[in-house]
Amino acid sequence: MNKFPITVIGAEKMRAELHRLKTIERPAVIQAIAEARAQGDLSENAEYDAAKEKQGFIEGRIADLEAKLSHAQIIDPKTLDADGRVVFGATVDLEDADSGDTVTYQIVGDDEADIKAGKISVSSPIARALIGRHAGDSVDVQAPGGVRQYEVLDVRYI
């Protein structure tokens, strides 16, 4: 399996979720299964079925997080020396050429993308168009609503 990029913060969030699942969620669902099993007949026990379903979800998520973390290439944007170029982990200020609105995005891994928090996936159309650009460059982005033009105002590694 190939390595995939993730920021230090994204990796920390994954590790925290994995820890919570293993230390809190997993023991709680095991206890719920034991309590439901103690009630007797399992064939018509809704609590038992719900607990087993939740256990399956938790175990699947744990396996998913462990696999992602084992194949992650953790990148710290603060240590990048990209000579002002837009690279993975960079925070970019953009100005929409049509409206004049400014937006700020950080380019992150697929699993940590959150547009409301200003984090866009490295595989998104806008991130792919920005990679390798410098402050002052004009960028055309193929968006679902048509081509949008942006000017790169600033590139930071924070």
**What pLDDT, in 10s, does the model give residues 7-62?**
999 999 999 999 999 999 999 999 999 988 888 777 778 888 899 999 999 999 99
Share the mean pLDDT of the chain.
92
Q: Could you tell me the pTM of the whole model? A: 0.84
Q: Which CATH architecture has domain 77-156?
A: Roll (3.10)
Query: What's the CATH fold of domain 4-75?
Result: Helix Hairpins (1.10.287)
> Residue 126, by phi and psi: left (phi above 0), alpha (psi -120 to 50) or beta?
alpha
What tokens appear for 119 in the block? 């984090």
* Sequence-separated (6 or more) residues with CB below 8 Å from residue 9: 112
Mean pLDDT of the region 102-112: 95
Q: Do domains 4-75 and 77-156 have the same CATH topology?
A: no
pLDDT at 81 over 80: no
Compute the chain's Rg from CA coordinates: 22
| Residue extents of the structural domains in the chain | 4-75, 77-156
Q: Distance between CA 42 and CA 31 in Å, rounded?
A: 15
